[in-house]
Chain A
């Protein structure tokens, strides 16, 4: 006779409930993106594909989304490039103020967003810089940079310096060593950092709110719209972003498991 075990039953239930709790808002957003709503998107009024097919009918949704993408892509490119260079320098070279730089890089991670957003806004005001796309991008580069450095640094630390030495020994100049050895080996870390930076930038609200002026981003739009009822097109955009992100995650998982199987063959 098997003994009745509480743990055997309790743990799966607990895990199931946790995931259910986490998934409800996402599921709600997804389901209501198909709602045939009139004014507010709170009561279910029947299924329609109109919201998905005509997402840009609600002009503000699409332009806000476009701004968010533009800001996130630009900020990610700048932050990833700078952050990768900083990470390599911090791991590979000994220089003055190295530990000070390390410490400073952690500050944005620890500073409350409100403080950082307000501080930046005050600075831009001081400089007489009009708030707009450029100020948001600068602000986003600033707060995503630390995340990039931390992520890439971890990858650089696992990179055996002997590999780069072997490249130099095999007639590759420092630039060629970087292009053919260092960069390809760091690429997974750099991509992870870029994805993180993109995600952070894309859904940032607080810092953006302080520094964007009249420029509307997607999170800002949703926040403002919430007061008078979020249009279903916002649900469409949110769901689409979620689906794309999930598709990428699944694709990466499948690819790495295929690679694993090929290697162990």
Chain B
């Protein structure tokens, strides 16, 4: 077989990928570059085209147009079994009629490796399942099956490993544990991982780079911190964590700050943290960056202050409380406050002011769709 075993992962580049299904476009003019050895997450809601993208890279779907370059070589025309790419499937797709060991050895057997079984045994040892080698997959727990699927893919040393929602079927505790293990294995083997998921925490937790996908295209791409701190579109601001978003006409914009007129109130952000500086724009802030005060804080240029408003809902989530504050002419604002002991004793219906630092605002490139989302 012509496929080589590689020592390290390879670059993946998608150029102008488009996939049409009868009646709709699943992926629209997608460009993407994943450097070798990186853990890359493709994050998006169901139906955004992320799984279709993964299937095109695996060769299980063929793109309507565009190029798929792996290590600089176009593989778009290659059959799945000719590609040095392996996949961990969503429900693992372990072969029920083979033992765990035979499952893991399947790929290397196909590639005519001299001694497939010791190699498979070694791969099982990596995921700490060598003692279950003779079992059938259906005798294993969900987490164990997931690790077998991982070993079955990794034993081939693919240039690129694709993970299709591999942790979706596991419960929360096991998922956390597997996230850590998966990340450790990726660091150890140094392969390029492309992880498709709808779970934003999972993506941010594990990936070096996250691409947020929506309606067949990439909304924003970057390191998890950058995406979270500086979402550029309303979709990213809402899909990746929560946001309070305010829409208004730009009232003032200089080299330092940009302010909008939001129902008569001034909301300011840094010009450097804003995508647009003219016309109607949206400015947002993360709920944990906001504070509330029982007394109106002294107005300074570095602070956005709204209120007073009424607390309409308090939700205890363990490490923090989520407060919903309804401010006349402003609407609902969400505030997260850490439960660090000094949390103010605030009750439902209390009148409070909300504030946040100007540098915590972010200006979006588009407006949220639908007026009801303009909280």
Contacts and interface: CB of A to CB of B under 8 A. Distances in A.
Real binding pair: yes
Interface of A: 160, 162-163, 165-173, 176, 180-181, 184-185, 263
Q: Which 3 A-B pairs have the closest CB atoms?
A: A170-B107, A171-B110, A166-B93
A263 B139 contact: yes
Given A168-B80, A169-B60, A185-B97, A160 B91 contact: yes
B1 interface: yes
A263 B58 CA distance: 34
Secondary structure type dominating chain B contacts: loop
B184 interface: no
A172 B138 contact: no
Given A170-B152, A172-B81, A163 B95 contact: yes
A185 B138 CA distance: 14
B93 A160 contact: yes
A184 B104 CA distance: 18
B60 A170 contact: no
B59 interface: yes
Nearest to B83: A169
Interface string B54-94: 00001110000000000000000001110001110111011
A162 B136 contact: no
Contacts of B97: 184-185
A180 to B, nearest CB: 8
A168 B111 contact: no
5 contacts: A163-B96, A167-B106, A171-B110, A172-B81, A185-B95
B189 interface: no
B91 A170 contact: no
B3 A171 contact: yes
A171 B96 contact: no
B258 interface: no
B136 A170 contact: no
Contacts of B271: none
A162 B94 CA distance: 9
Contacts of B91: 160, 162
A204 to B, nearest CB: 34
